[in-house]
Amino acid sequence: MREALWGEWTKAWTGCAWAVLTSIAVFMSLVTSFGYAAEGDKRIGTGQSDIAVITDDVVRSWMMTFLFASLFGALLVTREYSSGSVSRSVLLTGRSRLFTAKLLVGTAVGTLSGLLAVLLAAVSSWVTLAGYDRSPEWTSETSLIALGVFACNVLAAPWGVFIGWIIRHQIGAVGTLMALTLLLDPALQRLVPDAAKYLLTIAMSSLYRDVHTDLLSPSVALLVIAGWLSAAGFAAHRLFRSRDIT
């Protein structure tokens, strides 16, 4: 198993996919952070908000990094199908060990992504607000938001790995994750909010303490996320064991 883990860990950093995804995630989060800082400065000036709320908004903006953690997880699986090397990996490693190794490595990379997101969220709260001669006010609520951002990255990575095993096509898996996160789930949240709060990405909103009022409690959201991951993991493992490799 050690060799399988090392092999998958090496594959994870081969090529430029991780660098591209990280760069895009950081860029988008940073731009959003500057936007919250600029808008927050105006709201503070008119007495509509305070620096603690704006600090929370800036830190919360790094939640979008979890999308890229899930995309990395999907690519960790699907690029082997795209290159045709998955048959060789199965032959050398075995299906069960390959499935477990990719899941563990994907989750480990999601953990690193979460740590980077929290670090940059803290730095950005100082940098963006300094542009308006303000300093962030880091409260216990801000710490909970940062913890939620970290948790979403850790949980999103295995979700992406499972989607990769289920769909097996690189563009299909990436398109599915982006459509669910950016289009379908937000749309359902507006149309049927009572039901949509049980969707995976909407449940994640509870972890980073989104200001939306109709969300699950963090403890219930964790149970819902666990249910989605369990269902996806079961389907992914069953399909991987039963379908042809190519």
For the question of whether the overall pTM of this predicted structure is more than 0.85, the answer is yes
CA distance 74 to 102: 10
Instruction: Specify the number of domains making up the chain.
Output: 1
The b/e string for 65-82 (b: 16+ C-beta within 10 A; e otherwise) is bbbbbbbbbbbbbbbbbe
Q: Are 31 and 56 in contact (CB under 8 A)?
A: no
Q: Where are the beta strands (DSSP E) in 124-220?
A: none
Residues 150-193: pLDDT tens digits?
A: 999 999 999 999 999 999 988 999 999 999 998 888 888 888 88
Residues 109-160: pLDDT tens digits?
A: 999 999 999 999 999 999 998 888 888 899 999 999 999 999 999 999 999 9
77 three-class SS: helix
Residues 73-82: pLDDT tens digits?
A: 999 999 888 8
Domain range for 93: 1-242
